[in-house]
Amino acid sequence: MPTPISSIRNLGPAMEDAFARAGIDSAEALRALGTDAAYARLLQSGSKPHFISYYVLEMALQGRPWNDCRGEEKARLRARFDQLKSENTPNPNAIDAILDEIGVIVANRKAN
């Protein structure tokens, strides 16, 4: 029987629900993926990026208190988070460009 994600220190029902929406349904699956791959799946499933939830996940998978992340370690995690966010979050301007191209909206055009 799979172990619930909420059994991992620092991760509660809200994170468990978010991971379920991302197709990650157990603590074992979460640990196997690791922080970066699991967080990328969260972003791809529509979760909004939040640095705190990212580093809380990292601390949780290490078995550490959520607020144990400081200094240089936190700076390194911030760089990883920013990279994940840029690679896995849709660009809203790209959506507008597509809608403009097919004639649904008029974006970034100057009036004559």
pLDDT of 109 higher than 60: no
Residue 89: pLDDT band (50, 70, 90) is: confident
22, 42 in Cβ contact below 8 A? yes
Contact (Cβ atoms closer than 8 angstroms) between residue 36 and residue 55: no
**Rama region for 48: left / alpha / beta (φ>0; ψ in -120 to 50; rest):** beta
Ordered domains of the chain (ranges, CATH): 5-101 (1.10.150.20)
What's the confidence (pLDDT) of residue 111? 45
pTM of this structure: 0.79
pLDDT digits (tens, 9 = 90+) for 6-61: 999 999 999 999 999 999 999 999 999 999 999 999 999 999 999 999 999 999 99
